[in-house]
Structure 1
Amino acid sequence: MTSHQTSQTMKPATAAKKLGVYLAATPAEFREGVVSRAELNAFQADPPEWLRELRRNGPHPRPVVAAKLGVSISGLARNGVTEALTTEQIEELKREEPEWLRRERATQAEVRQEAARLKKLREEKAEAREEARPRS
């Protein structure tokens, strides 16, 4: 018997998320169809012009906006940024650097420091357990 392998497909929203683009800004044929794993791989390996343009100028989904601004998605929401932003809008926010952005960046830096501290602590505990383990 031979096994028949079906093509794995995903909804356009899932594919857009994996590609890091805002679904509403993608072409209609992308939004209205399904995307196979092979198509997704092709988009990643050799992006069409519309995908390159979206990645370059946006509008960008909130996770991308948050990363470009150096804040969390929650930080965006706390400060009323709930819509996709273009690269130009993101750059303008960076230039203006409003108080909320400075505050959220500081919060994000603290979160990263705490995560690094906890990771180091876990690693040290694991090493101590390994050293304390009897050798045979």
Structure 2
Amino acid sequence: MSAFEIVLLMVAAVHALAAAMVIHRMIVGPTILDRAVAVDLLTVLLVMGIALYTAETGATWGVVAMLSLTACAFVATLAVARFVAREELRGGRPGTAAEDTPTSTGAHDAIHVTPSHPDFHGADPGRGSTREEEGA
């Protein structure tokens, strides 16, 4: 057994111990954020384990697996962050975030400018205006 293999075994043992602690946090974690961080850390440990295997065997598939796992973990982290942000916006109440944002305009008032609107400059809303009518 070479010195490189001994170092790899020691690092693998440290990773196994860290994975056990992360799995404990994932099960016991009091909040969803604790569990999300634990899943992220478990993914990092898995990627590091694949890196150790790739370093030992020289397998080329490890790079693709590591990149795809990190991409999936990134998307999952964004999804959890968005979910938690919506829950905080609502204050933990059921419903949608759109219901909680009061506006003074209707559904199409912000899109369609009417003649009574201050931004209306005399063009016929049904027909639009041309450059010749504007004097340009």
Larger Rg: 2
TM-score of the two chains, using structure 2 as the length reference:
0.31
- Of structures 1 and 2, the one scoring higher in RCO (CA 8 A, sep 6+) is 1
